Chain A
């Protein structure tokens, strides 16, 4: 059944708003890291990683339409997102926890 015209407009606006957030956070993170160069603190790193995680979550939820998907698919996507970004956060913020796991 086709989407109703007024719903389509609302849907397109939502899609565009997600893109605006993606674009601003991409440019913001890039500029931030370019300016930070040698003075990258844990707070900056965690923020940049968090921004990337947010971007991936937005694409999964609104572009892949997982926000309306069955629970099993939402759970799998959420697990991937959590494991990947959890791993990245650990490696970059708590390397002393990760090194023993890999024997160095």
Chain B
């Protein structure tokens, strides 16, 4: 009796070596998440006070912006793989707009805290808040550069299948930035 088994075509998005960097970065942020979670156990009142001082609307706007920009990148990559590079380019530009929204909102949030004179040196909540979200913000800025390079790749007259590994790699990086923010949003703003 013959059985037809549908084999899934397995594919590593981007170069396999690039994942050493991605997983390494995720590991580092995993350590940040542990530090945050354990410190809030040590100083629950301090973290409760700090949590109450945060602008939760900014946190929500930033999460919606990053999640939506991730969607735009995924949609754009699908278009690029279907050789629709002009359409892909538009999606990547939209993703950049939302990345810009994230950066502006983060700037406004930091400004709000600085003007409120929060004690970064002696207050562990705000020290970790600025360090972890600051390092994440640097990742967002690097991601914006990657998105710009993706737009440039799609702009090439002879854009084709050879450009897909780069587009995949940059997309994976942007999605990593998104998932790290989802966890930061959970720990810093929600719980």
Also in contact, A84 and B30, with CB within 8 A (given A8-B79, A33-B190): yes
Contact of A91 with B38 in the complex, beta carbons under 8 Å: yes
B77 to chain A, nearest CB (A): 8
Also in contact, A23 and B10, with CB within 8 A (given A8-B79, A45-B191, A95-B41): no
Count of interface residues, chain A, beta-carbon cutoff 8 Å: 53
Also in contact, A80 and B30, with CB within 8 A (given A59-B70, A63-B73, A91-B38): yes
Contact of A26 with B64 in the complex, beta carbons under 8 Å: yes
A102 to chain B, nearest CB (A): 6
Residues of chain B contacted by A4 (CB below 8 angstroms): 82
Cross-chain contact of B56 among A34, A55, A69 (Cβ < 8 A): A34
The secondary-structure label for the interface of chain B is: helix
Closest-by-CB residue of B relative to A19 is B71
Cα(A71)–Cα(B186), bound, Å: 28
Count of interface residues, chain B, beta-carbon cutoff 8 Å: 52
Contact of A23 with B64 in the complex, beta carbons under 8 Å: yes
Residues of chain B contacted by A18 (CB below 8 angstroms): 71, 74
B12 to chain A, nearest CB (A): 6
B2 interface residue per 8 A CB criterion? no
B184 to chain A, nearest CB (A): 10
Cα(A54)–Cα(B6), bound, Å: 27
Contact of A48 with B186 in the complex, beta carbons under 8 Å: yes
One digit per residue, 1 when the CB lies within 8 angstroms of any chain A CB and 0 when it does not, for chain B 146-183 equals 00000000000000010000001001100110110011
B4 interface residue per 8 A CB criterion? no
Residues of chain B contacted by A98 (CB below 8 angstroms): 38, 41
Closest-by-CB residue of B relative to A11 is B78
Chain B residues numbered 40-85 whose CB sits less than 8 Å from any CB in chain A: 40-42, 56, 59-60, 63-64, 67-68, 70-71, 73-75, 78-79, 81-84
Interface residues of B (CB under 8 A from A): 8-13, 19, 23, 26-27, 30, 33-34, 37-38, 40-42, 56, 59-60, 63-64, 67-68, 70-71, 73-75, 78-79, 81-84, 161, 168, 171-172, 175-176, 178-179, 182-183, 185-187, 189-191
